[in-house]
Amino acid sequence: MVAKTGEMTKTKIEKAKADSGYFSKEDFRYSKEKGIDLYMPDQMKSKEEQEERENKIGKHDRRNFTYDEQDNKIICPENKILFFKGIDKTRGPKYICKDCERCPA
DSSP-assigned states of every residue in 50-93: HHHHTT---TTSGGG-EEETTTTEEE-TTS-EEEEEEEETTTEE
Label the pairing between strands 73-75 and 66-68. Answer: antiparallel
Sign of CA dihedral 70, 71, 74, 75: negative
pLDDT band at 66 (very low <50, low <70, confident <90, very high): very high
Confidence of residue 104 (pLDDT cuts 50, 70, 90): low
Average pLDDT, the chain: 81
**Predicted confidence band of residue 44 (pLDDT cuts 50, 70, 90):** low
pLDDT for res 89:
85
What angle (nearest 5°) sits at the alpha carbon of residue 4, between those of residues 48 and 46? 10
pLDDT at 20: 66
- Full-model pTM: 0.46
Distance of CA 64 to the CA centre of its chain: 15
Could you count the other beta carbons within 10 Å of the beta carbon of residue 74?
19
Greatest mean pLDDT range, 57-61, 69-73, 93-97: 69-73
Residue 10: is its pLDDT beyond 90?
A: no
Confidence (pLDDT) at 2 = 72
**pLDDT bracket for residue 72 (50, 70, 90):** very high
